[in-house]
Amino acid sequence: MANENFNTFGRRPAGGVIADQATYDVGLRAHMIRVYNYMASGLALSGIVAFALFASPALQNIFFQMGVTPGGAVVPTGLNILGWVAILAPLGLLMIASFRAATISLGGLQAIYWGVTALMGVSLSLLLFRYTGASVARTFFVTAAAFGALSLYGYTTKRDLSAFGKFLFMGLVGIILASLVNMFVHSSGVSFIVSILGVLIFSGLIAYDTQKIKEQYSEAWGTQMADKVAIFGALSLYLDFVNLFQFLMSFMGQNRD
């Protein structure tokens, strides 16, 4: 699932002057904590859904067509109709959130956020069937450490990353197109290159989106939009984390077979 850039909200107020810097700084820290709490809760929900699907044959049959490997393991061999709906629905929800960012209610936006993170657990469960639990856990902690360092850089750097963000967005479009083409050509070389670029691009997006969240908060500061901005920010960082995790799994994951 690719990252969405939610640019509906503006940046620092005209003139770039904040009357009460101390109050603003306290509010910004509270805002970032709210963003990270939303993101962490979303990751936890995705993990719960993924593990529930992995552990429950009854739930597996709702979304997947199951088969047996030569080694006797029961694994998904394809998606049924509900499986395709669950895989594609997050993209539709993200489009709704993006197009209606200025008018959607806080409750509606929260419902979309929890819906996206829950449904993402369906696609993430496929990693549990493919890779060993130890390698999944190891890659998750590596991703978390990388995320923490990159997000900290984005929060503290004085360098404007907006131009860098345009380059990253172009790269994101490139890997999406390459992935679509590779669905038909099935080239291991293309998959390897896409995975490398995916790690680099989503690593950069973590820093870029963190800085963008700070800038968007300055526009929402003191208004009722702050809570909505926090959810949009959490959604961006959640997608960055999940995509980075999935690309790292292609390098660090150990197959169960």
Q: For position 143, what pLDDT does the model report?
A: 97
Tell me how far CA of residue 67 lies from CA of 77, 130, 233, 256, in angstroms.
6, 13, 39, 15
Q: How far apart are CA 96 and CA 108, in angstroms?
A: 10
| Residue span of the structural domain in which 56 resides | 14-252
In a domain, 144, yes or no: yes
Per-residue pLDDT, 17: 47
Rounded-to-integer distance, Cα 124 and Cα 117, Å:
10
**What's the domain count of the chain?**
1
Q: Which 8-state DSSP code applies to residue 8?
A: -
User: What pLDDT is attached to residue 75?
Assistant: 86
Q: Half-sphere exposure of 16 toward its Cβ, with a 13 Å CA cutoff?
A: 1
**In the structure encoding, which two tokens stand for residue 54, read together?**
């992995």
The alpha helices in the chain, defined as continuous H runs, are: 21-55, 57-63, 81-99, 106-130, 133-156, 162-185, 188-220, 226-252
Q: Dig out the tokens for 194 from the structure.
A: 């896409």
- Judge whether 188 lies within some domain: yes
Inside any domain, residue 4: no
**Nearest by Cα to 116 from 82, 96, 93:** 93
Residues 2-11: tens digit of each pLDDT: 555 554 444 4
- Tell me whether residue 5 is in a domain: no
pLDDT in the model for residue 13: 46
Phi, psi of 67 (to 5 degrees): -140, 175
pLDDT by residue, tens only, the chain of 257 residues: 555 555 444 444 444 445 577 777 788 899 999 999 999 999 999 999 999 999 999 999 999 998 887 777 788 888 999 999 999 999 999 999 988 888 899 999 999 999 999 999 999 999 999 999 999 999 999 999 999 999 999 999 999 898 888 889 898 888 988 888 887 888 888 889 999 999 999 999 999 999 999 988 877 665 667 788 999 999 999 999 999 999 999 999 899 86
Within-domain flag for 233: yes
Q: How far apart are CA 132 and CA 188, in angstroms?
A: 21
The pTM is what?
Answer: 0.88
Residue 68 lies in a domain: yes
Considering the domain boundaries, does residue 216 fall inside one? yes
Q: Is 150 helix (H, G, I), strand (E, B) or coil?
A: helix
Instruction: Map tokens 């993200």 to a residue.
Output: 94
Domain assignment present for residue 97? The answer is yes
**Per-residue pLDDT, 60:** 93
